[in-house]
Structure 1
Amino acid sequence: MVEEQRGERIAKFLSRAGVASRRDAEAMIAAGRVRMNNAPVEHPAVFVGPTDIVVVDGKAVAQPERTRLWRYHKPDGLVTTHKDPEGRPTVFEHLPKDLPRVISVGRLDLTSEGLLLLTNDGALARQLELPSTGWLRRYRVRVHGGVDPKKLTRLAEGMVVDGVKFGPIEASVDSVQRANTWLSVSLREGKNREIRRVMDALLLPVTRLIRVAYGPFQLGLLAKGEVEEVNGKILREQVPGLGK
């Protein structure tokens, strides 16, 4: 209640405004890039009220808009970053020009395809990425070679690969096509390149990876490169406590 009266912490404000994640916003504050009411912000615990003027790198930050979420069918060949140091094409360069500034909920690597959620609210993105949210992420995965059921049992029990512990992964065989096998794979954690790493450890190299669902949100019939906004009522129903 006290926090509502004072507004919200500036790092959260910048995150919800789509400027940066909370962690990055704190780094921007430490670097002296953020001012409020013409005074430097020196601590991320500063509160922002509705009449306060926040400026980042000399540009005023608008009050956060209502929280919005989009489904995007990411093609392969794009990286999920706003700027790639290697100069590779990015997801954000290929989004419709009329879309506001958005950030991704998690990532899909360069050669992965399928459902990528996008939002204008950094706090929501962080919330949906947390393993504690408990949302299941589902994939269709093509691997080279046949799949021994014992390997699927190892996945279900969790694995340690190169010193990294991966939680249980549910996997079942969908179909076999000559030298390839299609699997349905589900997980809740989503560490960096998790599926590819555990499959490599099982000598099942991944030749195609498509995310088909993230929690309650489905890829469905969304065409490659297409973006579709999630209805606000549905978003509020699926994310308790989101508000209006």
Structure 2
Amino acid sequence: MTQEPRAERIAKWLARSGVASRRDAERMIGEGRIRLNGQPVTHPATFVSDNDIVQVDGEPVAPPQRTRLWRYHKPDGLVTTHRDPEGRRTVFSAMPEDMPRVISVGRLDLNSEGLLLLTNDGALARRLELPSNGWLRRYRVRVFGVVDEARLAALAHGSVFDGVRYGPITAVLDSRKGDNAWLTVSLREGKNREIRKVMSGLNLHVSRLIRTSYGPFQLGVLPRGALEEVSPRVLRDQLPKAEESPAKPRTRAGGQSDRAPSGD
């Protein structure tokens, strides 16, 4: 007897297929961008199986595969979104042709570079983005201006700039030459452009920002623009750490590039 394919809600199916987080998939349904077997999907409670044909913006979506994760050395000059209204080059347009559809874990803005995690599992991406997971994000930051080490140290207790409260940030002066200095900056949450805004509050202009690690995953010597898949063994070893502090999702409305700012 042939077993019927397992059916699940289409938003969850799309998340497992790497299209978007579940919340963003629901938004896309509301925008009329999803079709099931040629018909528009109007409700996120619609059920789908791997035998069905699902399209996003007219393009077919492959059924969910095993969870995969990649390290990518993002160059500056790329935006972390699938579609850019200004026509700028995106991270995803730089992927190899045989790359499955993936989404980013958080994001790095246009002028930021360094480690960007990519996955084909939207639910995993959302889980790894949550500040409650406690994963440390570390950056090398070049700033222009007069560095006050006492004010840097005070960031560890949290700060408020322009009416916005930021969580603890560890910022250490590594080197200084004239009005230019290199800092190592570490944080666990990540409001939109957080490092740039906090440094601006200290009268420092960020001229370069490089993410060097995200949780246990390191940029290391991965060349600029290079992509490397995390092995299944490492994935099994590290992912339980992201589940030690389960949290309720808090996805903002908006495009998938706005799911969870990276703090850059």
Does TM, scored on the shorter chain, surpass 0.5? yes
Using structure 1 for the length normalisation, give the TM-score.
0.88
- Please give the secondary structure, in 1, of the residue aligned with 2:12: helix
Q: More deviation in 41-50 or 19-28?
A: 41-50
Confirm or deny: 8 A CA contact 1:141 1:185 kept in the other structure.
Answer: yes
CA offsets, 1:193-224, max 9 Å, x none? 00000000110111111000000000000010
Q: Distance in 1 between matches of 2:89 and 2:56?
A: 27
C-alpha change, 1:49 and 1:137, in structure 2 (3 Å) is: same
Partner of 1:186: 186
**Cα distance between partner residues in 2 of 1:148 and 1:68:** 43
Displacement, 1:6? Answer: 6.5
Quick one: which amino acid aligns to residue 68 of structure 1? R
Aligned mates of 2:28, 2:114 — CA distance in 1: 32
Task: Give the distance between the partners of 2:173 and 2:56, measured in 1 at CA.
Answer: 50
TM superposition shift of 1:185: 0.6
Count of residues in correspondence between the two structures: 238
CA distance in 2, matches of 1:38, 1:93: 27
**Tell me, which stretches of 5 or more residues in structure 1 are unaligned?**
none
Q: Secondary structure at the match of 1:240?
A: helix
The answer as to whether partners of 1:6 and 1:47 remain within 8 angstroms in 2 is: no
Q: 1:40 to 1:142 in 2, by over 3 A?
A: closer
| CA root-mean-square deviation | 2.3
- For the 8 Å contact 1:10–1:45, the answer to whether it is kept is yes
- What CA distance in whole angstroms lies between the structure 2 residues aligned with 1:20 and 1:231? 23
The structural deviation recorded for 1:54 is 4.0
Matching of residue 199 in structure 1 with residue 199 in structure 2: yes
Aligned equivalents of 1:90 and 1:52: distance in 2?
30
Give the equivalent residue in structure 2 for 1:116.
Answer: 116
1:70 maps to what in 2?
70
Distance 2:203 2:71 in 1: 33
Distance 2:38 2:82 in 1: 29
Matched-pair contact (CA < 8 Å) for 1:76–1:113: yes
1:110/1:60 CA distance change after superposition, 3 Å = closer
Hey, what does 2:22 align to over in structure 1? 22
Say yes or no: does 1:89 pair with 2:89.
yes
Q: Distance in 2 between matches of 1:60 and 1:220?
A: 36
Identity of aligned residues (%): 69
Shift of 1:64: 0.1
Query: Structure 2: how far apart are the matches of 1:54 and 1:111?
Result: 35
Q: Residue 240 of structure 2: SS of its match in structure 1?
A: coil
Partner of residue 137, structure 1:
137
Aligned residue number for residue 160 of structure 2: 160
Query: Contact conserved, 2:78 with 2:89, CA < 8 A, in 1?
Result: yes
Q: Which residue in the other structure is 1:222 paired with? A: 222
Structure 2 vs 1, CA of residues 16 and 201 (structure 1 numbering), >3 Å: closer, same or farther? same
1:173 aligns with 2:195: no
Q: Helix, strand or coil for the counterpart of 2:207? A: strand
Deviations, residues 163-197 of structure 1 (Å, cap 9, x unaligned) = 22110001111111222111111001111100000
